Amino acid sequence: MHRSPVRLLLSAAGVVALAVPSAAHAASGRSAGTPHGVPAAASCAGAVQTSVGPTGVRTTGSATCTGLTALRLNTTVTAAGVDSVVSTPLTALPNLPVPIDVTVPAVGATAGCATLVQAGSGATVATSCTGSTTG
């Protein structure tokens, strides 16, 4: 079994750990997840809650994935009978919860829905809707 070294980057915001495969591991053509170079598909689970206020739509929650995963939080806001969609990218590190706290400003918002999806596959991780739509 080959282990990849972990390198640390120091920043003003704190310490960030990045898993970086070694040159020998990269040259082998194998993925860290499987023995034959086929990346293991990450699975994700989570929950989101959406609330509507006089100045916008807020989504909170968390998600955890089994592997490094690009996520996307798609928030639909209804204000004055018009729907607008805002997409927020998120990254999940393996087996670490990703905290979610996103506010989409919209004066006069009456409803909001949020859907957390895996960016690569489009698989839905969690969804939440609240408020009432007009029209």
- Domain residue limits, the chain: 1-40, 44-131
- Average pLDDT of the residues of the chain: 78
Decide if pLDDT at 135 tops 70.
no
Confidence (pLDDT) at 31: 44
CA 47, distance to chain mean position in Å, is 11
pLDDT band at 39 (very low <50, low <70, confident <90, very high): low
Where are any strands of DSSP class E within the chain?
Answer: 6-11, 14-19, 44-53, 56-65, 69-79, 82-92, 98-105, 109-118, 124-131
pLDDT band at 98 (very low <50, low <70, confident <90, very high): very high
Give the span between the Cα atoms of 102 and 10, in whole angstroms: 26
For the question of whether the overall pTM of this predicted structure is more than 0.75, the answer is no
Non-local (6+) Cβ contacts of 82 within 8 A are: none
Is pLDDT larger for residue 80 or for residue 4?
A: 80
- The structural architecture, per CATH, of the domain 44-131 is Sandwich (2.60)
Give the span between the Cα atoms of 18 and 34, in whole angstroms: 19
Is pLDDT larger for residue 47 or for residue 55?
A: 47
Give the span between the Cα atoms of 24 and 66, in whole angstroms: 25
Residue 28 phi/psi, 5-degree rounding, is -70, -20
Give the span between the Cα atoms of 7 and 15, in whole angstroms: 10
Decide if pLDDT at 87 tops 70.
yes
